[in-house]
Structure 1
């Protein structure tokens, strides 16, 4: 990854969704968000999506304002990235969650993508993302890795006892 980052600040976005293509065990996940100035698709790993949704839910007890006053006019300007890392923070002054994504495009250019999204809508996004994730392979509660149809060797069980095959 290059050391120079291009900063893209999209302000407040009005829609955010997660989706997947493929069969369980071979799925590809994406995060789509729509702002006034751009439409952005970020390719994301299942574990990254789960972590993002979990971090969002940490703000579910903050003041929830169900009103959104953002115009829904989608932009023709589109970006597509693969997620490298992310940071989220709660903005109490406007009850938004600020998202910062570090991404890389096909040309291996690095970008910092920044936008804000309403806390209430962020919680709905997290809920739908957890639902999407749960439709795949079950997750081992010890190591948090997917359990395949033919079983799973849990790395957390490799301490003082033999590997345990979980079915």
Structure 2
């Protein structure tokens, strides 16, 4: 049985970062009373989660406009820092989103990154038969050791998306020419023939 970190619902559920732009670590964090669970994830995962959550809410709103707000309620704005100390439970791999129509709640499950196993064909003496036969295979059938389960109301889900978008936007600005992030000391722009561009003031 996996360890279930269940928050149904949490008092607080946010995404936040630790570190400077360009070297930030992203965390999902859920809190209920003194119990806090922090899960590390990639910036791209935050982007996809926010987009999919917004799409899910928009879809539900079509059939239940009284249940799902069009925008995040102002009173739910949360710009505070992550809860301290931040102790990473695991690094996020697969995430699933669902709508529970019985309770009008969004259900999010976060699973750790799957481990991999190296498979190779060897002869009787233990020598590799064919080095090209070595393959990394995901252990999809293995039960995860931990799961983060969060159930939140639609209004809180909209607030989560709003904060996630703000956190994503607080990183390094993108170069208007090549689209790559600009470090504080500038970057070599491939669209400008290698000239070093700086963050516009």
TM-score, normalised to structure 1, is 0.67
Partner of 1:64: 68
State the shift of 1:128 in Å. 0.9
CA RMSD across the alignment:
3.5
2:112 is paired with a residue whose SS is strand
Q: How does 1:43-62 map to 2 (within 5 A)?
A: 43-61=40-58, 62=61
1:126 is paired with a residue whose SS is helix
TM-superposition CA deviations, 1:104-144 (whole Å, max 9, x none): 6xxxx831221211111111111111111111123579x98
State the shift of 1:12 in Å. 2.3
1:98 is paired with a residue whose SS is strand
**Distance (whole Å) between structure 2 residues aligned to residue 136 and residue 79 of structure 1:** 21
2:158 is paired with a residue whose SS is helix
TM-score, normalised to structure 2, is 0.57
CA separation of 1:79 and 1:135: change in aligned 2, threshold 3 A:
closer
TM-superposition CA deviations, 1:39-85 (whole Å, max 9, x none): 2111111111111111111133323277xxxxxxxxxxx87222122
**Distance (whole Å) between structure 1 residues aligned to residue 106 and residue 194 of structure 2:** 41
**Distance (whole Å) between structure 2 residues aligned to residue 64 and residue 97 of structure 1:** 11
Q: How does 1:70-149 map to 2 (within 5 A)?
A: 80-103=89-112, 110-139=145-174, 146-148=181-183, 149=186
CA separation of 1:48 and 1:152: change in aligned 2, threshold 3 A:
farther
**Distance (whole Å) between structure 1 residues aligned to residue 180 and residue 22 of structure 2:** 11
Query: Contact (CA 8 Å) 1:59, 1:119: kept in 2 or not?
Result: no
Q: How many equivalent pairs are there?
A: 141
**Distance (whole Å) between structure 2 residues aligned to residue 144 and residue 88 of structure 1:** 30
Indicate the structure with greater helix content. 2
Structure 2: segments with no counterpart, 5+ residues: 62-66, 74-86, 114-143
Indicate the structure with greater strand content. 1
